[in-house]
Structure 1
Amino acid sequence: MGSTVKGSTDMSPSILGKHIRLVDRKWAIAVEQAIGNIIPGYLCSCREDERVLLEILSRCVPAQEMDYRPSVTVMKYQSKVYQNLRLPPSNFTTILSILDIDNPTVACFLIDQGRIEQRILMDSYENARRIMEKRAPPNCVATYLPNGTEMQNTNVFRCYTCRTQNPRYFVEDFAEQITRAEKDCNNIERQIQEVKEKLSETQKRVNQHQQTVTALDTTINEIKIKCGRLGKELRELQLIEAPNDSNINDCENELSEYDNRIEILQQRIKDQKSKAEMESTEYRQVLDDLTQARQRVMEKREQAEQCKTELQTCDALKENGQRAINELQKGLDDNQRKLEQHEATKKFIETKLHVQIENAQNLVKERPKEEIDVKAIRRSLDALLKFIETNKNVSHNVQQIQDRLEAVNEHLDTFGRVVDKQEKLIHKLFKAARHRGQQYKNLLESTAKLTSSCFSSFLESRNYTGEAIFDHQEGTLSLEITPRGDEVHKDTRSLSGGERSFSTVCFMLALWEVVEMPLRCLDEFDVFMDHVTRRTAMNLVLEVAREKKKQYIFLTPQDLSFLKITDDMRILRMPQPKRTLMQTNNDNDSD
C-alpha cells in the first residue's frame, strides 16, 4: 500500500498516534482533550491508499460499529514541518512544543487540522482565567489545564470542564488502569449492595410501623364500639320506669344498685377515653416515625441512582480497557504467528541443508579411491567427439518439433487456467458450504429454543412446567415435565394417561409453531384425559388454530357439547351404527 510522492521518499498509510510522543506526562489529559478525536485516525498520501484502507476497515469493523471506525485522511507528503507559523507569544507553552513528532507529514497535518501551534498550556487555573477573561493572547485558540479544562474567548468567554480522569491514549501501563477500573467497579458494587441492605432494613421497619398503626386502629375501633355499647346501656337504664310496688325499700335498694352500676360504667368510660387518648398520641408518634422513614428511603434511593450512574461510567471505562487489551492481544497473536512462520521456515531450511550435506557426503564417499587414468578418459572423449561428428549431419525437422512444443505448452497453459478456475470454484463451494452449515446450525438452535419455549408456554395453561431438551450431537430429544404439586418427570412413561396425553398435545402444538404446513390433523388426542384436562386441551388447540389461520382437522370420540360454536369452526358428527337384534345379542354374549 505504499504510494510514491514526486520528489520525496515513499510513504505508507500510518496511524497518527504511532508518530506522536508526549514529552511531559502531566499534559496527557489536556492533549487528548484538544486533539483526541484525530489521534486514532489514519493518514495517506494518495486516493488509492485511502480506497484500499477503507476496504480493509469495512471488512474488519462490524456493520453495527461503523460509527466507531477511525477516520482516513489524504494529505500530500511533506519533507519538513511548516516554518512560517503564527505562534502565540514566546512566554506561553504550546501543544506543538511538548509533542515529539517523528514524521513531518503528521506534524503538518496536526497543525492544519488541530491547530496545535495555537493551543497553549497553563498550570494555574486563576492565571488562565484572568488572562482569557480579558482577552485571548494573539494567535491563541484555546487554553488547557493539566486536568483537561478548556478555556476559549473568541467573542464570549467559555470554560469547559473535562469529565475524564485518566488518559486514554498516552498511557504507560494498561494493566494498572484496568486494575484501577475494576477496583472502582467493585467499590461501587459494594456500595450498591450496602444501600440495598439498608433499604431492605428500612422497608422492614416501615412494615413494622404499618402493622403497629393497623393494630392501634383496631384497638381504637374496639374502644369506640365499647363506648357506644356502654352509652346505650346507660340510656336504657335511665329510661327504666320505677316499679309500681308498694315496697319503697326494695325500690330504693334497686335504685341505689342502678346508681352504683352507672358510676362504675362512667368510671369505665373515663378509663377507656384516657386510654384512647394515650394510644392516639402513640399513633401520631408512629406516623411521624413512618414519615421520617419514608424520607430516608427516598434519600437512599437517590444515593442508589447516583451509584448506578457511577457504575455505568466505570463499565464504560472497563469496556475501553478491555478493547485496548484485545488490540494488544491481537498484536501479540500476530507476532506469535509470524514467529511460528519464521521457525517453520528455519526448520525447512535446516532440513534442506541437512539433506544437501548428506548428498555431498554420499558423493564424497562414492569418489573413487584409486588414481584416475588420463589415457582412458582421453579415449572416452575421442569416442564422444567421433559420435558427435557422425550424427552431426543427421537432419531433424526442427520446425515440427518447435510447433509441437508450442502446442503442448499452449495446451498446458489452458489446462492450468482450467485447474485454477476449478480450484477457485471449489474454494467458493467450500466457503458457501461452511456458511450454509453455520446458518443451518444457527437455525437448528433457534428452532430448538423456539420449540422449547412454546412447549413451556402451552404447559402453563394447566400450571404445568417443563421444557424440551434437544441434543443435536447425540440426536436425542427428552421432555422434562412437572405437573402441579408433583416432582420432575424426565420420562413421560411415569406420567398418568391424561397428563401424558396433555403433554403430547402441547409438544405437538410446539412443533407446529416451527413447521409451516397448510393442513394439520390430530386423531383421538383426548381419549385418556379427564373432563377438566380435555376442556383445557381443546380450548388450547382451538386458540392456536384461530391464531395461525390454518386448516385443522381433529378426530375424537368424545362429547363436544361444551364447545362454543363459531363461524370459523365446523363439527361433523357421524351417525350411530345400525345394529340388528342378532348383533346385539351376540355383543351381549361376547361381553
Structure 2
Amino acid sequence: MGIIESLELHQFMCHKYLTFSFGPQINFIIGHNGSGKSAVLSAITVALGGKATSTGRGSGLKSFIREGQSVAEVSISLKNQGEEAYKPDLYGKSIVVTRRFTKEGNSSYKIKSKDGHVVSTKREELAAICDHMNIQVDNPMNVLTQDSARQFLSAANPSDKYKFFLKGTQLQQLSDEYDTCLENISQTAKVLQSKKDAMGDLRQAYKEASAKFEEAAKARQQKYKADELKKELAWAHVATKEEEMKKKMEEVAKLQRRVPKLQAEVDAADAAFRSASEQVGILESQHAEMGDIEDLKNRKSDLGDKLKANKKKISELKDEEKKMNTQLTTCNSVIEDLQKKIDEETTKLEAQTKFKRDEIEQKIQNTREELRNVEEQLKDVRAQIQEKNVELRNASQAGEDAERLRNQAQKEIESAQGAVAEARAQENNSLAVYGRDMKRVLEMIKSARWYGGQPVGPLGVHVKVKDPERWAPVLRATMGGMMSSFAVTDARDRAQLKRILDQTGNGHITILISEFDRFDYSAGEPPVEVLTVLRALEIDDEYVLRLLVNALNIERTVLAEDRSEGDRVLKSLHGNGVAWTRELYRVQRYAEGGGQSVPMNRLNATDHRHRLFTNRSSADNIAYYEGLVREAENKYHDALTRLQQSRAAHSECRRALQDLTNRDASLHHIVSKKKLEVADLQNEINDDLPSTISALQSAKDDAEVEKENIKTQYSNLVRQRAELDEAQKPLLTDLNEVKKKVDDFNERRNGIKQEIDDAVIKRLDAQKNKQYYQKKLDDEQAKVNEAEEVAKTLQEEFKDWTTKAEQYCDRVDNPRGVEVVKRNLESVQAALKEREKKHGATVEEMTIEVNRKKAALDNAERDLKQMTALNKALKASLVIRLAKWHEFRRHIALRCKVVFQYHLSNRGYYGKVLFDHSASTLQLKVQTDDQAGTQTRDKDPRSLSGGEKSFSTICLLLSLWEAIGCPIRCLDEFDVFMDAVNRRISMKMMIDTANSSDGKQYILITPQDMNNVAVTNTVRVHRMSDPERGQGVLAFS
C-alpha cells in the first residue's frame, strides 16, 4: 500500500508527454544529462501536494509548465491494496491523483478511483490519503534531490547536520508539537489560577442574595395566597369552558338530525339521474353501433365528381360540334363557289378535252373508292388491335394471379407437410410442441435438487380449450407463447433451470418466478353469463391457473365474436376492461370513457403454436394435416392449370396482335399508295387545264380534304359523346342508390339522435335536481361540520385547559366565578407590588436571583476542579511522551550508527556517526581502505573524493531510511561522482536492502548505464530519451 504504480506528465518542465509504470520495489531511471530525469521526482512531489520550493527546481508551480504552454498536468497512481487499504470500497485497488496548474497560478486536484470515477477534488482528501499511507512528500529524506543530498552530506557545521537529521526522521516535527502542547498547558494553568482567585467574589454575591431572600418571608406569604387564587382562577376558566362546550354539543346534535332527510332527497335524485344516464348510454351505444357512412359519402362524392367530369366533357364536345358545323358550312360554301368558277372555265374547253378528262376523273373516282375501302379495313384492324391489347393485359393479370395462387399453395403444401412431420414426431413425443428434447428436460428437472418446489412446466401441458374450433386461434395468438414457459417458486432455482434449458437448446423459453398462493380471484370475474378466457379453458393445476391470472388476467378478459360484441360487453361491465375477439382484435374500454381496438399479430403458417389447443389425438392431428396437404395440392394443381391456360391465352393474343400489327402496316402502305395515285391523276388533269382552272381545282381539292377531315372529326366526336352519354346512365343509377342509402341512414341516425337529445334533456333535469338537493345537503353538512369543528375545538380547549390546570395545581372543586376570583387576585397582587417597591424586586426575582448565584458558584467550583485535574493529566502525559521521544531519538541514532558502519564495511571502509544530543550536533567520520594503514584519524566527508563522498552518502541514506516509515524512497543522481567499483557495490547494496524491505519502493535516478545491474523481477530499469527542446544551431561568422 502507498507505492507508486504509474506516473504521467503533460507539458511538464521539458516533457510534452511522459508516462512511467513503476515496479513495486526497485526502479532505476537512466538517461543522458538534460533528458529530464529529475523532472520525475519533481512531478511526484507536485502530484502528492508538495511545495514547489522543496523540489529545488523552481519557486512556484508556474515554473514547471513547459515553455510555450499555458497549462500542465501530472497524474500519479498509488497502490491501494492490503488489509489497511484506504477506503477500498470507494477507490478500489488504486488511487489516481491528478494535479493541474496554469500560468495564472491556478491549481486543482482530481482524486479518482481505479475505474476513473472522480471521488474528490479537495486537497484535504489528498492529505488524508498521504497521512494514512505514511507518505511525507515534503520530507527531504523521502525525495532527495541532488542539492538536498549535497547539503545533507556537506553541511556547513554539525549543528546544521543535526537539524537535517531531525527533520528527515520527523523527530523535529514531533518535538515542535510537544513544545506547543507544553506552552498551551502553561497558559491553561495561568487561566485556572485567575479563576481560583475570582471564587471569593462569587461566594460573597451568593451570601448577599440569600440575605435578601430571607427578608422577603412576609412577601412569600402573600405570594402563597396569590398562588392559591391563581389556582382557583385556572379551574374557574375550565368550568366556564366546559359550560360553553356542552351548549355547542347540543347545537351539533340538533343540526345532525336534519341531514338524513336531505340525504334521502339526494339519493332519490341520484337514482333518477343514473336511470336517465343509463338510457342515454343505451341510445348512444345504438348510435355508435350504426357506425358511419364515410364509405357511402366517399362513393357519392366520387360518383358526383365523375358525373361532373362527364358533363364537362359533353359540354366541351357540344361546343366542338357547333364549331365543326360552322366550319363544315363554310367549307361547303367555298366548294360550291369554286365549283361554279370551275364549271364556267371548263365550259369553254368542254368540247375539246371532255373525253380525256372524263376518263381520268373516272379513274380518280375508282381510286378514291378503293382508298375508302382500305381505310375502313385499317380502322377495323386498329379497333381489333385495341381489343387484343385489352385481352393481352387481362391474360397477363390472370397469369400473375394464377402464379400468386400457385406460390401461395406451394407454401401451404410445405407448411402442411412440415406440420405432418411434426405431428408424426409428436405421436411419439407429445411434448415436442413445447420445445426441443422436452422429455430430457423434465427428467433433468426431476433428478435435480431445488430450494423450492420442483419447477412446473411446460404450462401448456395443464391447459386445454373447451371449444377449440371457435376460440383456439385467438388463444394461440394471445397466450400461445406462454404455454412453453416454466415456473419456479424460489428465485434461487431460476439459475439452475436456466442452465438445463440452455443445455437442451431451449434458452428462449421464459421462466416465471412466483410463490404458490391460493388467492381468491373471484372478485375480478364478471357475471357468469359473460364468457371469459378462464371460462373457456380447462386448467388442471391450481398453481398454473393463478400464474395465468397474474400474467394475463384471464379471469376478467372477455372473449367475443367480433369487435362490436366485445365493445358492447365491456360497456355493460361498467365501461372498462379488455376483450379478445375471434377476428383477432384486442378491444379495450377505459373507465373514464373512450376505448380502442388493436389488431393482434397473426401467426405465420410455420408457427409451432398452430399445434396448440387442438384437443386432437396424434393420429387425428396427422390425418388433419394430411387433409390440409391434399387441399393445398388441389389448390396448387388448379392454380397451375389456370397459369398454363393464362400463358397459352397470352401467347395466342401476342400472335394475333402481331398478325394485326402486320396487317395494319400493310393497309397503311396501301392507303399511302392510293393517295399518291389520286394525286398523280389529279395532277394529270390539272396539267391539261389552263392555270386558272388548275388553281381553282387545287383550292377545291384542299377544301374537299378539309371537309373530309371535319367529317372524320365529327364522327369521332359523335362517338365520344355517345360513349359519355352511355357512361352517365350507370353513374346516375349508382348515385341515386347511394343517395337513397345515405338518406335512409341519416333518417335512422336522426331518429336515434332525437331520442338521445330527449334523453339528455331528461338527464339534465335529473342532474339539476340532484345538484340542487346535493347543494342543500352540502350546505347543511357544512353547517354540521362547522359546528362539529367548533365543538371539537371547544373539546380540545377544554381538555387542554384541564390538562394545563392539572399540571399547574390540583383540582379545585366548585370554584367561584372568574370575575370574583380575578378581583381578589388583583387586590393581593397590588399589595405584593407595594412590597416589591420597598425591596426593589419581586419575590420571584429574588428567588431566581438566589438560585442563579448558587448555580454560578457551584458551576465555577466544579469547572475549576475538573480543568485543574485535566491540566495535571495532560502535563503528566506530555512528560511521558517526551521521555518516549528521547528513547526514539536514541534508538534511531543507534540504529543509524550500526547500519552506517555495516554499509561502509561492504566497501572495506570504516566510519561512524557521532551524535551529541545535548549540543544538537551530528558529525561523520569515514576512513577509506587506502587510509587504514597510513592514517589513524578519521576524515571529514568534505575531504573525501567524489566517489567516496557519493558512496558515503548512500550508506548514510540507507541507514536513515531504516528509521523512516514512508513507503517511497527517491534519490537523484546518487552515483554521479562514483567510480565503477563504488558504483557496483552501491548498486548491489541498495538492491539487497530493497529486496529485504517489504512494502518499500525505491526510485533511483542516474545518468550512468545499468549494464552491471542484473535485471530481475524486483528490478525495473526505465530509459529516457532526450526530450524535444526546440534548440537550434548557433551561427558563427
Does the TM-score normalized on the shorter chain lie above 0.5?
Answer: no
TM-score (norm 1): 0.34
| Greater relative contact order (CA < 8 Å, ≥ 6 in sequence) | 2
Find the structure with the greater CA-based Rg.
2
TM-score (norm 2): 0.21
